[in-house]
Amino acid sequence: MVRQEGNLIIEVLDASNVLSVQDIQKNCDEPVWATSSLLHLLNKGSGYGYILKYLNNSIGYILLRSLDNEEEVLSLGVLKSKRRQGIASKLFYEFEKGVIRKNVQRIILEVKVENYAAICFYEFLGLKKIKVLKDYYKAEKGYEDGLLLSKVYF
């Protein structure tokens, strides 16, 4: 456990809790990562993450990756029934504390241009739009544009 606030607990993702991410991704209608991909990220891919539990139920997660002088948000989600209660913000702030401690220059992430909620969320946290990534995501029919967002720390 890294942090407890009343009935909320933030844990570091590891082999014991990482599979809860899949349940949240299903609920979020987000791509569900294969078990092997999640474990590979944590064990071999410079990846890490946090999971937030309320009364011992997993309700939100963030998947992250360390690169050279920057860190990337790979995936983030909160159960539909628990949104707009500051859950994703708590996960992001946990991530951001590490970013500041490690003197990381900037964070980056990609999001679908259509994902209004996520873009509002990231702008709320101080990320800026860098560029549109044309046809970045494969859609049911054709492709969808992505948006590269970033926040610079120093």
Ligand X SMILES: CC(C)(COP(=O)(O)OP(=O)(O)OC[C@H]1O[C@@H](n2cnc3c(N)ncnc32)[C@H](O)[C@@H]1OP(=O)(O)O)[C@@H](O)C(=O)NCCC(=O)NCCS
Q: Are 101 and 136 spatial neighbours (Cβ–Cβ below 8 Å)?
A: no
Residue from 20, 89, 98, 108 that binds ligand X (CB under 6 A)? 89
Strand pairing class (106-112; 70-78): parallel
C-alpha closest to that of 92 among 116, 66, 73:
73
Q: Which string of x and - marks every residue 53-82 that binds ligand X (by CB under 6 A)?
A: ----------------------xxxx----
Element (H, E) at 61: strand 57-66
**Radius of gyration from C-alpha coordinates of the chain:** 15
Task: Give 15 or 116: the residue with its C-beta nearer to ligand X.
Answer: 116
Find the angle CA(37)-CA(43)-CA(44) to the nearest 5 degrees: 80
Task: Give 15 or 114: the residue with its C-beta nearer to ligand X.
Answer: 114
Task: Give 58 or 75: the residue with its C-beta nearer to ligand X.
Answer: 75
Q: Does residue 106 bind ligand X (CB under 6 A)? A: no
Q: Does residue 88 bind ligand X (CB under 6 A)? A: yes
Binding site for ligand X (CB under 6 A): 28, 30, 75-78, 83-89, 111, 115, 117-118, 120-121, 124
